[in-house]
A and B are shown apart, each in its own frame.
Chain A
Amino acid sequence: MAKLTIDDLKKIKEKVHKEMSLRDGDRRVKVTVHMGTCGIASGAKEVMDTLLQEIEAAGASDVVATTSGCMGLCSREPLVTVEILNQEPIKYEYMNPNKMRQVFKRHILAGEIQTPFVLAKGAEVIK
């Protein structure tokens, strides 16, 4: 494999600029993988990596993956929150790479909430 250089990065920038000028929408979906100690110990890193690979493979630049801290439901980790623009957030529990792939393909891309993995609907209130 040829060595990756700064020139490769410049080419990527130009390619992305062209794509951006063709598209008016920005970020459609935000996916948060909860990355507290409990989440990491339960496999949240593998879940996040699967998500990043799925986004890469689908070229889904309107999906942003982010991390957050522990929300206090340590026994339900790994937890993933999917927020689609103008829809209520969906929290998925006990996630793993296979479930993440399914949620990405069926919920994030096709809009079908994967009910068997859902913990809650809506945003949590932290006191």
Chain B
Amino acid sequence: MLELAEHILDIAENSIRAGAGTVEIVINEDSAKDLLTIEINDNGSGMTKEEIKKVEDPFYTTKTVRRVGLGIPLLADAAKMAGGSLRLKSAKGKGTKLTATFALSHLDRQPMGNITTTMLTLIAGNSGVDFIYKHRHSDRRFTLDTRQIRKEIEDVPINHPEIIKYIRGVIDEGLREIKPTA
């Protein structure tokens, strides 16, 4: 994977497969501290201490259709290559919080890539799950919360083409305002 937006999609898909009803994605670009932080929080099934120990092992997976589990190892590697790290907090039955940090100006930091299509893929592809997307760039902030959208549209499905078009517009507009550099 060559873009951080793809890693975010991959980890959030893990959250959904773990039964999460709400997934929060927080991206924080702090130019003053030269720090990029990506947080993914979910209320899925969580992991045991034993499972947490093995998450960075590419030959460990809970899946039965294949013998490798590359999602977290690839993100951990991307973070380490850019002078950062990956931390994971999880409790069985409560959910998981993943934090990846990167030196913002590091030559080997992967570009963010297209975060709009990551969010649209998650929202359209998992219409029963709520997503909270927060993106901060220094003192500028943008938040998208599908729970608020759902409240307004009532019985219209969130993955209806017109709603997806609206969400695409809102994210693009929000990102134009906060001017992300990652």
Contacts and interface: CB of A to CB of B under 8 A. Distances in A.
A67 B161 contact: no
B45 interface: no
Most buried by A among B1, B159, B160, B169: B160
Most buried by B among A3, A13, A55, A61: A13
A16 interface: yes
Most buried by B among A17, A33, A37, A52: A37
Interface residues of B, number: 41
B166 interface: yes
A101 B124 CA distance: 18
Contact of B1 (A41, A48, A72, A127): A41
B63 A52 contact: no
Nearest to B7: A40
A127 B65 CA distance: 8
Interface of B: 1, 5-6, 9-10, 13, 17, 63-66, 69-71, 74, 114, 117-118, 120-122, 124-127, 149, 152-154, 156, 159-166, 169-170, 173
A45 B117 contact: yes
Contact of B152 (A1, A9, A52, A70): A9
- Interface residue tally on A, bucketed by range: 35 or more
Contacts of B117: 45-46, 48-49
A61 B157 CA distance: 10
Contact of B154 (A13, A38, A56, A126): A13
Contacts of A70: 63, 65-66
Contact of A52 (B65, B114, B124, B166): B124
B154 to A, nearest CB: 7
Nearest to B164: A52
